[in-house]
Amino acid sequence: MHPKLILLKYLGFLSAVACLSAPSASFASEGASRLPNWLNAHVGAGNGQIAPMVLERARALYQEKLSQGKIRNACYFAMDATRPNDLTEAPAGGRFYIICEAEQSFRVISSGHGGGRNLPGVANFTNGRQCAKNFGNALNSNLTAGGAYLTSEIKTSFKGYYGVSPKQETVLTRSFVQFDGVGETANARQRAIGGHASALVSGICMMKKPDSPYANRDGYVPRGKLVTYAGGRSDGCTSWSPSETPQVLSMVNDNPTTLYVYPESKDIAAVSKALATGKAPEKSGLYWNATCLQEIGAPKFWAKETLEPIITKYTQDHPAPPPRPVPICEGFL
C-alpha cells in the first residue's frame, strides 16, 4: 500500500477514536454520568424527577459556592420553572427540589411562578396558573427570573387576623427569605425577590383589638380571610405551600445555601430559536418540559433594559388612584 494512503488511514483512525472519546455533546448525559447512583435514580423527565440539565447546573453552583467558602449548608435547592405548577401530590409531583447529598436525600415540593402583568394597549406579559411563558428580571414585572441565587436573611411580618371559628381569631405572620442573585438575577434584592409561604389575608377590614401587639394607635388591627395559593402564581417570588415552608426556612435560617432556577435567558432564546426553525428543542440538546411547551407555544424573556422603561412610562401615564380608607369590620367595633 502506498505510504500516503497508509498515513491517511491512520489519521482517519485517530480522528474516529478522538470523536468517540470526546465529551458528549449532551450536557445532560455528561452530567448524569458523574452523579452518585442514588441521585442518578432521581434524574429524568418523569413525575417527581429532576431534568438532567437543571440538576447539573444546580449542583455546579452549589459546589462552586461551597469551595469558595460562601456557604457551608449540606443541602441545596433547584427549581424547574418550565414544569407545570402542580401541587406535590398532583400528577406532576412538584418542581422545587431539596437535595442533601450527604444524607442521600432528595425531595420535591410545589412552587409558584411569577404571574407577570398585563399593561392594556402596551404589553401583556402575564402567565397562566399552570405554565409560565414569560420570564424576566425587570422591576415591578412580577416575573420569574432564572439563574443563580444565594439565600440570605429571613424576615417575618404580620399580615393580619383571620377567623378560625365564629368566636376565635388567629394571626397570620409570614416569613420571607431574601434571595441575592448573580448576573441577570443580581437585582433580586432590589426586586424584593425571595421565598415565602403561599398564604395571605385578603378582604381586609379593621377590627377593634386594642390589646393586640399589632394594633395601631387607635387600637385597630387588619382582619380578613385566609387565602392559600400553593397552586397559584406569585409576584415573581418563589412560593411554597404553608405546610412545606417551615422545613425550607429552617434549613436556611442563619445557614445560607444556593438556589438555581431554570430557565435562564439563554435557554429561553435557544428554545425559541429552535421552535422558530421548526426544530424540536431536544433535537438540539435543549430542554423544556414537554407538557408546558405544548401549552405556551414558545417562551419569551423580557430583559429589564427593554421592559423597565415600558413599565415606568405606563405607571406615569396611569397613576394609581388615591388609597381608600380601610373599612371597619362589622360586628367588631
In a domain, 16, yes or no: no
Which has the minimum average pLDDT: 41-45, 62-66, 175-179, 235-239?
A: 235-239
Residue 286 lies in a domain: yes
Higher pLDDT residue, 264 or 14? 264
Contact 114, 234 (CB under 8 A): yes
Which structural domain, as residue segments, surrounds residue 195? 25-317
Q: What's residue 12's pLDDT? A: 39
pLDDT tens for 24-83 read 333 343 444 489 999 999 999 998 999 999 999 999 999 999 999 999 999 999 999 999
pLDDT given at position 28: 40
Residue 17, in any domain of the structure: no
What is the distance in angstroms between the CA of the first residue and the CA of the last residue of the chain? 105
CATH classification of the domain holding 243: 2.40.440.10
Asked if residue 251 is part of any domain, the answer here is yes
* Helix/strand/coil for 57: helix
Is residue 3, in this structure, part of any structural domain at all?
no
Mean pLDDT of 194-218: 96
Q: What is the DSSP letter of 316?
A: H
Residue 15 resides in a domain? no
Average confidence (pLDDT) over 90-109: 87
Instruction: State how many domains the chain has.
Output: 1
pLDDT for 167 equals: 83
Q: Residue 332: its pLDDT value, please?
A: 61
Report the C-alpha gap between 183 and 191 in whole angstroms: 14
pLDDT of residue 22: 31
**CB of 97 closer than 8 Å to CB of 78:** yes
Residue 231 placed within a domain: yes
Provide the b/e sequence for 222-252 (b: ≥16 CB within 10 Å): bbbebeebbbebbbbbbbbbbebbeebbebb
Q: What pTM was estimated for this model as a whole?
A: 0.87
What is the mean predicted confidence (pLDDT) over 260-282?
Answer: 97
- Evaluate whether residue 8 is within a structural domain: no
For 305-319, what is the mean pLDDT? 97
Asked if 51 and 42 touch (Cβ cutoff 8 Å), the reply is: no
